Structure 1
Amino acid sequence: MPYTEWRGNLCRVRWNTGKKNDKGRWIFDSKGGFDTEEEALEYGLDRESDIRNDRYISRRDGSVLMGEYVKTWQQTLDVGHLRKRNIESMIRLYIEPRWGETAVADIKPSQFRAWEIWLKDQPHIGDRYRGEILLIFSMMMDDAADDKLRLESPVQKKKRRRGKYKKKPRERKRNMRMEDVHQLACNALAFWGFPGYVYVWTFAMTGMRPAELYGLRPEYCHPNWPASDPLDDEEEEDREERHEEDMERYGPGLLPAIRVQWQHQREEGTGAPGLYQPKYGSRRALVVPPFLAELLEMLLADGASEWVFTSINNGPLINANFPFQYWRKFADGREAKEEFERTRLGQKQTVDSRRPIPELPAVDRWKGKRQYLVRHGHKEWIDEDGHSRIATESRMGHELAGVEGLYSNVTPAMERTIMEGLQARWESFVLTLPEEWVPPPSPTPLPVDLSDWMKQQVKAAQSKSA
């Protein structure tokens, strides 16, 4: 039963919260500022009703600031390294600056809607990224309600349509053509060298994620894998059994393949490079067409590097700002430059380039576009060839939900069909090349005469088509 007491000219009511402190004593809450005892008592009875019906949020719990709550909430995240880093970034950049000084219980639905509109008006925040920010905030508010810091989330789960309907914009994409990939690979050869040429064709023919390509090691790549598999992923509990099956299925003389076991990312906090599981834990084997198997064999012939694809300076790609320092250069094209300008000690200088690069034509399919669209293009190709959903989605590192995913399995025959389809696509393309095709000059020595190698590819394609 609540009780009242006067403080000066105003009345205060106190009530038992039904909880005890560490010393076993009851915890009381209070509210002052009433003109009469009747008003104060009625308020206290309402609070006791809330306590009995599990609707009560104490003033102390509801006064917890969002800046404090997000610190605890982040410790509950059980997600992958990259996902956790992205969530922490969104909290630091957008959630804490807006809500950090606000009590968890004081966030109103109207305030949330106003913030949602503000995010929408920011030109540097895309639709998908804004959706991720709002999703994280919604999860946080749901957990705050579960923690009894507020009665319910201010984010409406099923919103009424407000205003006129507006179709969500989608990124405009163009079909990925073999001639575009070829030009991209030639640009990469001229700018980067032989690793760039093989990188582009591997990207297009496997659909691997960029971080998976950065972290691809020779022991997980044809022709070394699966015999060279170090079985070093302790979180893969069935790795011994999986390896036995791989030895029967893949390798020289069987199905040439790449094992996607790791992705290369920066470690949280230190920023040091580290190997992590692929996104969604999507470890998988990817068969490659014979022409790409030959390129990989030539690339790895010297066995000198820890990585399959090294930077221009023979270091790991994770240390380079790849989208800017590499991709933009050979996707957007550039003029030939023997000299370049720089500012040194506050003065502009014109100096000779240490790596003169020939003119690189822009590849319209990817000019100004992100490299991830190459992965999308690979999905287009295997969809065009009519492969089963389980084979297609498994190759992309996705899982099929429901009964279809539970009952389906990728068989060697499915993989062989994918390999043959990609090889046929390559052979149809090389038949369209000029008879005396000459590759662009490479900034580093090539392990093979690419012109002669291409002639052999054309000859093999002609013999098949005859």
Structure 2
Amino acid sequence: MPHIEWRGGTCRVKWWSGEYLPNGRKRYESKGGFLDEESALAYGQDQLYEIRHGTHVSNRDGATLMTDWLDDWLAAMDHAPTTERGYRSAIENHIRPYFERTTLAEIDVIAYRAFKKHVNGRVAASTAKNVMMVLGMVLDDAVPRLIKLSPVERTRRRGKFVKRKKERKRDMSALAVEQLARNAEAVFGRAGYAFVWTMAMTGMRPAELYGLTREYCYPNWPASDPRPDEEDEERYSEDMERYGKGVDLMPAIRVERQVQHHDGALRFFPPKYGSYRTLVIPPFLATMLEELLASHDRPWVFPAIGGTSLGSVNFDYWYWRQIADGRPEREGRKPRRAMPAVPPYEGRRLYLLRHGHKAWLDEDGHSKVAAEGRMGHEVPGVEGVYSSVTVPMERAVMKMLEARWLALREQLAANPLIISQLFPIKRVSDEETAGQGD
């Protein structure tokens, strides 16, 4: 039972918190300022009720500083490096400085709204949205030990439905991919040409392409597979019977990892969402990759200027923007030729090549399990449990992708005007490429 005691003109209620002090004695909590014993007793009984049902927040826990809780929350994170880096950035640049001297108990709905207004007035809308998402997770995880309820205001759908705006996409044509590939070759050599066509024909994520090394690429894989997991030996034996260089085998790339910056260095990590997968490739791309690997001795399939991984440079700024947006001619000590823009991708992001690959799979009528598996997605429900990608499915994908390439070559051969409009391919040495990429 709560204990009531009078002090001056008000009374105070004490109750056992359910915890013990280091010396073994019970730890009590109290609250004063009541004008009558009935109100004080009712308050104490409410605290005991919450303690019994595990919803009580002690005075000590409620007084935890937000900055201390942020330290605990960050230490308990277990995310991919890119995700963790984004969360830490939001906390260290926005959340921690604002709530530096604030306790968790003081962050109510009004304080939450004030911070939201503060962030929206200082950063772009997309950044503010990410910061508020991180703050929401931080406060939600503080319930019920440090705060009873989260002050985060959830968006509720009320009234008229407003459709969310989606990014407008243009159909990915093989001709546009060819133009991008020729531009890429002018920027960083033969690897650039093969890089663009590999992304368009496999739908691999950029970080997966940046981290693709010789042992996981045709014609080396699967014979060169390091086989790190002996328990998966069955998968390796099946790969040897299904993929590789041979009459009855299918050329393929193994997506086994990606590269990300972590602790100041470029490191290998599992592919996003653990989407390990094997991607069959059409014969033309198999030949292109084999010739590319024979042309250099770097470990990376698509080396950057200077031979490092594309993941070690700002690819979007130094490479992709030139490839998609074009560039003017430059004279002087480091001359370079003018390069035309590719309208469907001008000002747009590299990731649209991955989206375009999915659209090609859908246009060609491939099964959902084959298309989604190729993109590294899990097919939900019963369909994902019972179905699997078969050899005929993979051969159909190879055939249709090869048909797109052959149709493009026929189009270019039959229409000289299109050829004259495209940026001409010119094989360049590493020294010439380095000069053009500056």
Aligned partners of 2:170 and 2:344 also within 8 Å? yes
Deviations 1:383-428 (A, max 9, x none): 1101001100110011111111110100111011001101001111
Distance 2:169 2:119 in 1: 26
The share of aligned pairs that are identical, in percent, is 47
Q: 1:426 to 1:117 in 2, by over 3 A?
A: farther
SS in 2 for 1:14: strand
Correspondences of 1:362-401 after superposition (within 5 Å): 362-401=341-380
**Which one of 247, 253, 259 corresponds to residue 258 of structure 1?**
253
Structure 1 match to 2:319: 326
Residues 2-401 of structure 1 correspond to what in structure 2 (within 5 A)?
A: 2-7=2-7, 10-36=10-36, 39-113=39-113, 115-116=115-116, 124-126=124-126, 132-146=130-144, 148-156=145-153, 159=156, 161=158, 166-232=162-228, 234=229, 238-253=231-246, 254-267=249-262, 270-302=263-295, 304-339=297-332, 352-353=333-334, 356-401=335-380
Once the two structures are TM-superposed, the CA of residue 444 in structure 1 deviates from its matched residue by 1.7
Cα distance in 2 for partners of 1:271, 1:107 equals: 35
Question: What is the alpha-carbon distance in structure 2 between the residues aligned to residue 49 and residue 240 of structure 1?
Answer: 57
Matched, 1:409 2:388: yes
Deviations 1:277-308 (Å, cap 9, x if unpaired)?
00011111111111111110110014511110
Question: Shift in Å at residue 59 of structure 1?
Answer: 1.0
**Are 2:401 and 1:422 aligned?**
yes
Partners of 1:116 and 1:168 in 2: how far apart?
A: 21
Report the 3-state secondary structure (helix = DSSP H, G, I; strand = E; otherwise coil) of the residue aligned with 1:222.
coil
Please report how far the alpha carbon of residue 102 of structure 1 lies from its aligned counterpart in structure 2 after TM superposition.
2.8
Q: Comparing 39-48 with 178-187, which one deviates more in the overlay?
A: 39-48
Change (3 A) 1:121 1:422: farther
- Cα deviation digits, residues 128-152 of structure 1 (max 9, x gap): x655544443333332114x21122
Distance across 2 between alignment mates of 1:411 and 1:313: 40
For 2:199 and 2:218, locate their aligned partners in 1 and report how far apart those are by CA, in whole Å: 15
Amino acid paired to 1:142: D
Cα pair distance change 1:365/1:431, threshold 3 Å: same
Unaligned segments of structure 2, at least 5 residues: 432-438
Cα distance between partner residues in 1 of 2:396 and 2:200: 17
Q: Structure 1, residues 42-88: CA drift from partner, whole Å, max 9, x if none? A: 43333233333443211111111221112212233333333222222
In 1: Cα distance, 2:114 partner to 2:413 partner: 60
The residue matched to 2:378 in structure 1 has which SS?
coil
Alpha carbons 2:305, 2:430 under 8 Å: kept: no
More helix by proportion, 1 or 2?
A: 2
**Corresponding residue SS for 1:155:** coil
Please tell me the residue identity of whatever aligns with 2:260. Answer: Q
For residues 430 and 44 of structure 2, what CA distance do their matches in structure 1 show?
A: 84
In 2 relative to 1, CA 244–104 (structure 1 residues): closer, same or farther, beyond 3 Å? Answer: same
Using the alignment, how far apart are the partners of 2:308 and 2:243 within structure 1? Answer: 29
Q: Which amino acid aligns with 1:264?
A: V
Measure how far apart 1:41 and its partner are.
Answer: 4.0
- Secondary structure of 2:16's partner? strand
| Amino acid aligned to 2:95 | I
Could you tell me how far apart the structure 2 residues matched to 1:14 and 1:57 are?
Answer: 15
Count of paired positions: 423
Deviations 1:76-101 (A, max 9, x none): 33333332222222333343344443
Q: Say if 1:120 and 1:410 are closer, same or farther in 2 by CA, change over 3 A.
A: farther
Change (3 A) 1:402 1:121: farther
State how far apart, in whole Å, the 2-side matches of 1:284 and 1:208 are: 10
- Aligned 8 A contact 1:4 1:37 in 2: yes
Corresponding residue for residue 461 of structure 1: none
Q: Is the 8 A contact 1:191 1:443 kept in 2?
A: no
Aligned-pair CA distance for 1:154? 2.2
Shift of residue 264 of structure 1? Answer: 0.8
Q: CA deviation at 1:11?
A: 3.8
Q: Where in structure 1 are there 5+ consecutive unaligned residues?
A: 340-351, 447-466
The 2-side partners of 1:359 and 1:274 are apart by 35
Shift of 1:114: 5.1
